[in-house]
Structure 1
Amino acid sequence: MRRVRFQEDVDDDGESVELLPLLQWDVAAIVWLIQQKEERPWLRTLVHSTTSRRRTQDISLLIWFVFIAMTPEFGLPYFWICIGNLLAVVTLQYLAQSPRPIDLYRPLWQLQDRRCVDEDTRGFPCVDCHMAVVVLLPAILHTQSAVVQLLFVLIVLYIAACKLLLATRFISQVLGSWLMGFTGILIGNHGHVVVKSYKLSRGYNIAAIVALLVLAMLVLGMWIENNESSLMGIPKQDFIEVFTNILNSDAPNPVPTPGAPAHVHQIPAPDARWG
């Protein structure tokens, strides 16, 4: 397999820096996968039509549909294991700050539709790959239908394949995230056994759910304050304008005085950042 070189962004002299052997293999494998995608228009269309930098328009949304459907059947232990893993993997990704293929090998950017790539995420652990295992593996083991099992397995594999074909994850990062997801299930099950031994009342679960909702509202508030609402699948400017209109909806309309110039509200130009 050929050796891949990349240019470090911090290197003003443009010095070529050789990757470590594992990353050499990882980058070369990703380059080969991207070439296969570009040579097959149907595959490129499929991947780009089912992925998006907006969570509400991405194939990974299927994970949370399954989570909602399975929670009534599996109960609160399943709910807390999934939520705990989500909080843990998001925190670990933020702390690790691991680069993605497109961060190390910049020519890969030229082959990607940026509407499909979330620039705010990092490489490892992969939240979607981790949570696909945590959410879907119990459902795969629980159901007796071979068709449903095959469908869930295909969802896990397809989400991982999209990460590779968009050059947003290395193969090693996907495999590591799957392993972390399996480990997260084991830790969650052990934690459930430990907590169950304390025989806590139902009020503790209610208090924990309320605390979780408060945390979600705080995160939403920070997204609004930082103008980062695109993470929810809503364009940033539209999100801010909607909340501004809501806050100003109760304000009295000023009465124009005679001779005062009329105020003309200009329609903002459409956001054409992505064409």
Structure 2
Amino acid sequence: MNDVVTAEQVERHFARSAHTRALVNRWVERHGDDGVVDAVRDHRSRVVNTATLEEVKEVCAATDHALGEVKRKDVKDVRSINDWTCPFAVSHVFHFITEAIGTIPTYQEFQKQCESPRFRHMLWTPALQAIAACIEDGTPERIARHAMKWRIGNFYYSFLREQWVHAYLRSHGVMTRQHPLADALFAVDGWAGDKVISLYIGNQDYRTTNGGRKRTPRHHLRGGRPPFTFIDMELPPADSFGVVYIPRRHEVDDWIHRYFPEAVAS
């Protein structure tokens, strides 16, 4: 199987209904002038589809703590940043940087690359602008900066956790695939054939297997012919702070037995 995934392959694989094709068209129209469409369609994912479990474990051990000393209780009410987005989704930037440096980045390497001329306009500059606007609206500077660190740091941990799970699945014969177009447009964390994977920490307000306000692949990819199978890998909230939260191996083993019996049998 080819380890490189292109945006063209993603569109061909997922745009199986009028609803999904309309999503793609609206995305193209919405980002017609900001460079997002060209950057995503030019992107070729390889590292995220080949990284070994040992490589990802090394990143988990070497990364700086992405949240620093920030506590959720101090930033949870900073709505302008908690709901903040910019044209380049944070997941886009993780994927772009990963392929540019040829490995899953530690948080300190991710920060370094974000500030570089190649990527600065995608996330670093818009984040500084959002912080400045938040301060101008009356939020103390320290709180505004901490709120942005909390938001992006949690995105990083989510990305790193996904890479650990994908590497673990591959090590057990489940050949999953990823691409930023599938992630940002269809909320697809990965897929193996027609099996669409969602990996997340359960949150009653945001997302659980049975609900939450976040739209899921089931919504974005509804009506596909042939249909997709949707796999929810829901984790309980983390019980510690300051370390990378990854699933327990027995949890992923259970998912493999439940959702990928063909890998178990082989």
Q: Same fold (TM over 0.5)?
A: no
* Higher relative helix content: 1
Length-normalised TM-score, structure 2: 0.30
Instruction: Compare the two structures and name the one with the higher strand fraction.
Output: 2
TM-score normalised to the size of structure 1? 0.29
| Greater RCO (Cα-Cα under 8 Å, separation 6 or more) | 2
Q: Please say which structure displays the higher CA radius of gyration.
A: 1
